[in-house]
A and B are shown apart, each in its own frame.
Chain A
Amino acid sequence: MRVLVLAKEGEQSKAPTAPTPEAMAEHEKFNGELVKAGVVVAAGRLSPSSQGKRVQFDGKKRRVIDGPFAEAKELVAGYWLWEVRSMDEAIEWLKRAPYDGGIFEVREVSQHEGA
């Protein structure tokens, strides 16, 4: 099954500051382990929400909202698409990540919906 892992790093995703080189190295090491295990299908880091846009749908109306967005704790800073055999496996992998803050959300990608 495929899961989407959303990194919700809270305030960090508002600031344009890059992570420290040490943190990046730790992350790269962990990511490398995931890739070697055949788990990672895709991955990406998102620019700060100040550079993002939202489109709100209301009937026929479309309203474009400029970032930054207010609900800091819910802001997504990055994502992974993983191929795992169960949600439990995804959780066991995620627990090994070298992070000391933030919330990571794991959601199954439904295979029955069109892409």
Chain B
Amino acid sequence: MRSPSTRAREGAFAIGLPTAAHRAIEAIWRIESARLIAGLARLVGDIGTAEELAQDALVAALEQWPASGVPERPGAWLMATAKHRATDLIRRRKTLERKYEELGRDVERDQGDNNLDTAIDEDFGDDVLGLIFMACHPVLSKDARVALTLRVLGGLTTEEIARGFLVPVASIAQRIVRAKRTLTEAHIRFEVPGGSERVARLASVLEVIYLIFNEGYAATVGEDWVRPALCEEAIRLGRILAELAPAEPEVHGLVALMEIHASRLRARVGPSGEPVLLLDQDRTRWDRLLIRRGLAALERAETLGGAMGPYALQAAIAACHARAATAADTDWPRIVALYDAVAELAPSPVVELNRAVAVGMAFGPAAGLELVDALVGEPSLKAYHLLPAVRGDLLRKLGRYEEARAEFERAAALTQNARERELLQRRAAECAAERMAG
């Protein structure tokens, strides 16, 4: 069930009303929505109501600004409008009488000093941080956390989220509604958690941001190999989080990882949209600015004592590639050592597989293959296309072309991404040709 205001807003944006005022309002919404919803969530206690109030204010803006012009401080205007509506709403809800008193005082105070900007700027950072923690609460499923985060923190419409994940709009809408209901039913408080709880809650936040990034970076399904808009959204969330929680090394570790990976976005897609693998990429096309930012973020993570955090370690691996001017210059033994550390921290068959690739590069394909062969029976990798892809690659290097071809074909059949399938089929064909030639 969606509120009328949600429909009004998405309708207005979807039609793409061509006036300058509407475009300005959409841009302002993108800038303001997170702190608006965050500020309101602090007042009313739940995301659902906060988002509805914020959207009511947006609808009011859509009605009034085209005629009256955009106010000088649009964020303050939206907040004031939403707070007035909040007062009305809570007045009607007798069960929330206590909240009304608090809110009434709050609104009066704002009107009293007549400086809404100050009222909003105050603690706005903590509000947004609180909102991030709430939207990424572990009580929600991963999918729900991702959708809710993009919605309330990214300011994306349901339609935009659905497009990003190639999922029907109705499913995303339902995920968001359910997520809000779950938060309310579980009585999740609006807060910035501290102490030991903070570690677990922060891990959940980082996981959500990284999931969004990865879905953009290596699209698991669909026709496109990358969807950069999702990467940009995730990096933006990461950068915001790094400003809000600057003392958390893993936040910088994640930002470093995303910045360095994103530096390759341009180089990892060929002229006709096909994937180009890391070692085949034209490194002059890597974005040096993002690499510099990534290395700086990694250094911050390490300075804060977080060199051995899971994201910092992965970022350190990405940094090894970023520092190598050519693929041949890569410090593979160091990458192996870093994977050893990752494996110790969070052992998993996927990490083992990556480690095997590095071992293959550092100490020869036979050593790599030995490790990969040990993973072949692994149940969790049964449908993982990269296992046969990596095995095929190592077999090919050992001149075992027929086995390599079969592995690439197995991998092609397992991937759900059309572009990646084409690449794997091409490699299978190359192996067949090499076998004939050999």
Interface residues of A, CB < 8 Å — how many? 20
- Roughly how many angstroms separate A114 CA and B27 CA in the complex, as a whole number? 29
CB <8 Å contact, A81 and B237: no
Q: Can you name the residue of chain A whose Cβ is closest to the Cβ of B26? A: A88
CB <8 Å contact, A114 and B284: yes
Chain B, interface size: which category? 20 to 34
B192 at the interface (CB under 8 A from A): no
Which of B27, B236, B288 gathers most chain A CB within 10 Å?
B27
CB <8 Å contact, A36 and B125: yes
The one of A1, A42, A89 that contacts B31, using a Cβ cutoff of 8 Å: A89
B232 at the interface (CB under 8 A from A): yes
B293 at the interface (CB under 8 A from A): yes
| Chain A residues whose CB sits within 8 angstroms of the CB of B285 once the complex forms | 114-115
How far, in Å, is A73 (CB) from chain B's closest CB?
26
CB <8 Å contact, B236 and A83: yes
- Roughly how many angstroms separate A81 CA and B292 CA in the complex, as a whole number? 14
How far, in Å, is A56 (CB) from chain B's closest CB?
26
CB <8 Å contact, B289 and A38: no
Q: List A residues 68-102 near B (Cβ within 8 Å).
A: 81, 83, 85-86, 88-89, 91-93
CB <8 Å contact, A38 and B293: no
B30 at the interface (CB under 8 A from A): yes
- Roughly how many angstroms separate A41 CA and B125 CA in the complex, as a whole number? 20
Q: Can you name the residue of chain A whose Cβ is closest to the Cβ of B32? A: A92
B42 at the interface (CB under 8 A from A): no
How far, in Å, is A89 (CB) from chain B's closest CB?
4
Given A88-B23, A111-B266, A115-B285, decide whether A38 and B30 contact each other with a Cβ distance below 8 A. Answer: no
How far, in Å, is A2 (CB) from chain B's closest CB?
9
Q: Which 6 A-B pairs have the closest CB atoms?
A: A38-B239, A88-B27, A38-B236, A89-B27, A92-B27, A38-B240
